[in-house]
Structure 1
Amino acid sequence: MSIENLCRKHTSLTDEDIQQICDLSKNLQMIADLSQANVFIDCPVQDGPHAVVVAEASPSTGSSLYKKSVVGQWAYEMYEPAVARTHQTGEPTIRNRAITQEGKTVKQSVVPVKNDQGKTIGSLIMEQDISLQLRHENQLRALSHTTEHLSETLMGMTEQGSLISDLIQEALFLVNRKGHIVYANTQALNLLGENKGQEVPVEDQLEFLRDLDYRSHVVHYEEVRSGRKTLGVKSISLRKDNRRIGTLLMIRDVTELREKERQLMVKSTVIKEIHHRVKNNLQMIASLLRLQMRRTRSKEVKSIFQESLNRILSIASVHEIFSNTGLEEVEILEMMKKIGAKLVVNGQPDKEIEIAFTGKPIILSSDKAVSLALVVNELIQNSVEHAFVDQPYGRIGVHLEPLGYEVRVRIWDDGYGLPTERNEGASLGLQIVRTLVEQDLAGSFSIFPTTKGTEAIVQIPLEEG
């Protein structure tokens, strides 16, 4: 039923008033989208303090509060007191909590719609779901109750000895509102040493607490230096009836832990520096080889130099990754991309060769990563140099695939293909690949012709044994 028909059936509005309500409804969807709320227009019925819903809109980018349309339904005063109040007084009601007809709790704002004579002819209603807010409020209320029970339990420890508190590794102090110690477990008494006394404020007995702002926080953690020790101090404010009645202090010696962290950081820095120097040394060797290569006119000698250069640079790529991360592990898909890109750029400058890498990232230890880098270098280099002899362009693909406790590397090209009678022993590159895969990596290697070119498969275990 249209807005006009609903108004004529249930209300005493004039034609001008009905037209004003219809004009307002045209902007209802925009209002709903801007406010991210369900928006309604209610008009007062002819008899009684109730109203009828004549228009509605829900946000187009969110979910509606209502499963079904409520247009045409009555808003009874008992269930919609804010709407009835606005219709009777002409005053808005903002951010009022209400229950929808489907039982949901919402934040409801109601503003009057008035005609030119100032008479209230309806109301614009905005409703937003506050279920999440209510859930948070309930959680905070439960947390408050829990904190009070915790306070009572901990304060009960002061009246009788507690075996549980003595088993806790931290030094445990219960401090009253005046800052005096009312309970200390065995570890806490050991920390105090000779400075034991309940009448002396805890900050006078443990001077490092003076620099901590633990009193103004409900829960606070900070690490401080006390002599040669590093102490982790956690404080929990104990409350009852919303009043602070004391503080629970838990102090733990974290000196050894922080020292180990410092040593690990130093070790990581040293490892990064070592890899950085190895990379630089390898690149220097590569530069010397380039200088030597430029002095010869033999294409065969230059080719041998270039192959050696590529092998050295592939190892340097691995050490470059290690020098950046400081780890003894490497993500091998990233490593293969670095190697492949350099080989394609330096290999055949007169040919257009594309190389694509696919697969999932896989982590490999440093010793295996160096061997695999040489393997990938030889296989990609083999494709770049020999696959596209009579072709101006070509494609090379590298796919990395995890297989349980193993990893498979597939390298293929769409080039010339392997000769029918090939002698693997005549190729130094393939000899290097097979030796590295079978002996260093404890894996398997195969290379074979396909209908579109050549494919090589390397399969190695991720872990030894």
Structure 2
Amino acid sequence: MRRFFAKKGKKAAVTSIEELCKEHTSLMDEDIRQICDLSRKLRMIADLSQAHVFIDCPVKNGPHAVVVAEASPSTGSSLYRKSVVGQWAYEMYEPAVARTHQTGEPTVRNRAITQEGKTVKQSVVPVKNDRGEIIGSLIMEQDISLQLRHENQLRALSHTTEQLSQTLMGMAEQGSLIPDLIQEALFLVDREGRIDYANTQALNLLAGGESQDIPVDDQLEFLRDLDYQSHEVHYEEVRWRKKTLGVKSISLRKENRRIGTLLMIRDVTELREKERQLMVKSTVIKEIHHRVKNNLQMIASLLRLQMRRAPSKEVKSIFQESLNRILSIASVHEIFSSTGLDEVEILDMMKKIGSMLVVNGRPDKEIEIAFTGKPIILPSDKAVSLALVVNELIQNSVEHAFVDRKYGRIGVHIESLGYEVRVRIWDDGYGLPSKRNEEASLGLQIVRTLAEQDLSGSFSAFPTPEGTEAIVQFPLEEG
């Protein structure tokens, strides 16, 4: 059964339930008012039932119906891309609705397919007036496409396991060499747990050789603690004789009757040991980055102490620049120490550096800094170089762009250009220094060297109508 709707008449001119009912049905005014009252509750019914809800009313002539109202759950998507209000539901496509209108009996949990190809569970309930006459029906449809896929998967799994059991039985009877080439230990056991077949790896796993009269659980005691016989497919890892074994079981069926179990046992000791070593290495790497960060912060503390004894503002400024560079590198190692990875999400890194520079740079000024762009991951070596570049450019804006001004704005934008990354840093300050001053600037020399040599990219800076803009562009990978 398919739930189809067809246009009838001039639907575009019909906008209300009253007009639809008067044009297409023989309902009396009080019946129409009852339908209107019910329509006001449709959204609540849809939310409670988590279903798309319709009100269909029988038309004047024939067993067909017209859709006069609809509602979908507010927490989910609609079953239909377009509204179906005002369209006809013909008897041949809507037998459940026609049956309810004719007999007054409900239809519950009837499966149907919508005109958009979705499988739904459909329930139809009659709507009666005070005289007991059928004046319409309430239809609730729930999308069960996902449930249907699960049912099909289960049927396919049942069919597959039945074929698998027949294939393995054939291999056991014919003495096939194929199971002996498989890395896993294969046991084919019957319903009582006795071994019908075991490949070479399985025989090596048994302590005293195969014994068909003794259940496999008694020969391999670790199987006693596994509830594998009550599952269609089950996987679990166990420790046995200083080894880690991965045990997978598949229930074998024939004509929907369980005839045995296929056990596949594999030694995963080496794999789990490598995973453990990786976890240890990750912990060690995190600890190393944590200690590097602490050491850099200790150096920064010593520089602060030395900076307080500096004889002039110029010397203090030099100390502050060095301090900021150290703290920028420390920010990168702080991210490494928290993630345990050798990669950094650079947008988050730049936010840490920029916020630190604005707070510590010029407390006498109100400088606003904004960061935009999408997250991009960089390896540690490029991240450290980029951290120093960003530090120098933002620090240059903080120190020199807003002379004799209390307010200022700095923007940082990062974007991915295929295989390259572009970082734009701009401000609304006074503009670039002269060419001579730029060549003498240690900060800009550091930026150019890092961009061209460490990042294998390019650096450019130029004046804009609002102030200054600097661009650093480099490839994500070498070559």
Please name the residue that 1:128 is paired with.
141
The one of 7, 12, 18 aligned to 2:28: 18
Which consecutive unaligned segments of at least 5 residues does structure 2 have?
1-18
The range that moved more, 97-106 or 26-35, is 97-106
Q: Deviations over 1:61-116 (max 9, x none)?
A: 6244998667676647x97367547754x554433446889998754434344454
Q: Deviations over 1:199-234 (max 9, x none)?
A: 111111111111111111111110000111101111
Q: Indicate how the Cα distance of structure 1 residues 353 and 189 shifts in structure 2: closer, same or farther if over 3 A, else same.
A: same
Aligned to 1:191: 205
1:326 pairs with 340, 359, 365, which one? Answer: 340
Q: For the residues of structure 2 that align with 1:387 and 1:436, how far apart are their CA atoms?
A: 22
Matches of 1:457 and 1:82 in 2, distance apart? 67
AA of the residue aligned to 2:95 = E
Deviation at 1:281, TM superposition (A): 1.4
**Structure 1 residues 153-177: Cα deviation after superposition (integer angstroms, max 9, x where no partner):** 2222221122332222211111110
Moved more, 359-368 or 106-115: 106-115
* SS of equivalent residue, structure 2 residue 173: coil
Q: Which residue of structure 2 aligns with residue 352 of structure 1?
A: 366
Distance, in Å, in 2 between the alignment partners of 1:67 and 1:407 is 46
Q: Look up the SS of the partner of 2:329 in the other structure.
A: helix
1:156 to 155, 159, 170: 170
User: For 2:174, what is the secondary structure of its paired residue?
Assistant: coil
CA RMSD of aligned residues (A): 3.1
Q: Distance in 2 between matches of 1:114 and 1:404?
A: 65
- Provide structure 1 residue ranges, at least 5 long, that are not aligned to the other structure: 9-16
Residue by residue, what CA displacement relative to the aligned partner does 1:281-315 show, whole Å, maximum 9, x if unpaired? 11122112212222335211211111111111111
- Give the whole-Å Cα distance in 2 for the aligned partners of 1:286 and 1:305: 10
Equivalent position of 2:9 in the other structure: none
Bigger shift: residues 421-430 or 185-194: 421-430
Q: 2:68 aligns with which of 21, 34, 56?
A: 56
User: How far apart, in 2, do the equivalents of 1:101 and 1:302 lie?
Assistant: 76
Q: TM-score, normalised by structure 1?
A: 0.86
Q: Is the 8 A contact 1:44 1:121 kept in 2?
A: no
CA distance in 2, matches of 1:125, 1:451: 66
Q: Distance in 2 between matches of 1:44 and 1:420?
A: 85
How has the CA–CA distance of structure 1 residues 68 and 387 changed in structure 2, closer, same or farther, with 3 Å as cutoff? closer
Residue identity (%) = 71
Offset, 1:41 = 4.2
Any residues of structure 2 matched to 1:294-373 within 5 Å, and which? 294-373=308-387
Task: Give the paired residue count.
Answer: 451
Superposition deviation, residue 347 in structure 1: 0.9
SS at match of 2:227: coil
SS of aligned partner of 1:288 = helix
- Shift in CA distance, 131/223, structure 1 to aligned 2, threshold 3 Å: closer
AA in 1 matched with 2:206: L
1:128 Cα deviation from its structure 2 partner: 1.6
Residue in structure 1 matched with residue 6 of structure 2 by the alignment: none
Q: Select 2:232's aligned residue among 203, 211, 218.
A: 218
User: 2:472 aligns to what SS in structure 1?
Assistant: strand
TM-score (norm 2): 0.84
Structure 2: distance between partners of 1:101 and 1:285: 71
Q: CA deviation at 1:257?
A: 0.7
Q: Tell me if structure 1 keeps the 8 A contact 2:21–2:68.
A: no
Q: For residues 38-437 of structure 1, what are the structure 2 equivalents within 5 Å?
A: 38-42=53-57, 51-53=63-65, 56-60=68-72, 62-64=78-80, 75=91, 80=95, 84=99, 87-88=102-103, 91-97=105-111, 107-116=121-130, 119-128=132-141, 132=145, 133-437=147-451
SS in 1 for 2:71: coil
CA deviation profile, 1:355-379 (whole Å, cap 9, x unmatched): 2222332222212222221122112
Call closer, same or farther: CA 1:238–1:168 in 2, change over 3 Å: same
The secondary structure found in structure 1 opposite 2:247 is strand
Structure 2 CA distance for partners of 1:142 and 1:267, relative to 1, 3 Å? closer
Which deviates further from its counterpart, 63-72 or 260-269?
63-72
Greater shift, 392-401 or 254-263, is seen at 392-401
Distance 1:438 1:44 in 2: 78
In the alignment, is residue 3 of structure 1 matched against residue 21 of structure 2? yes
Pair 369,131 (structure 1): closer, same or farther in 2 beyond 3 Å: closer
CA distance in 1 between counterparts of 2:255 and 2:107 reads 32
Q: Are residues 1:37 and 2:37 paired?
A: no
Tell me the distance in 2 between the aligned counterparts of 1:273 and 1:103. Answer: 56
Distance 1:123 1:99, change over 3 A: farther
Whichever of the two has the greater Rg, that structure is 1
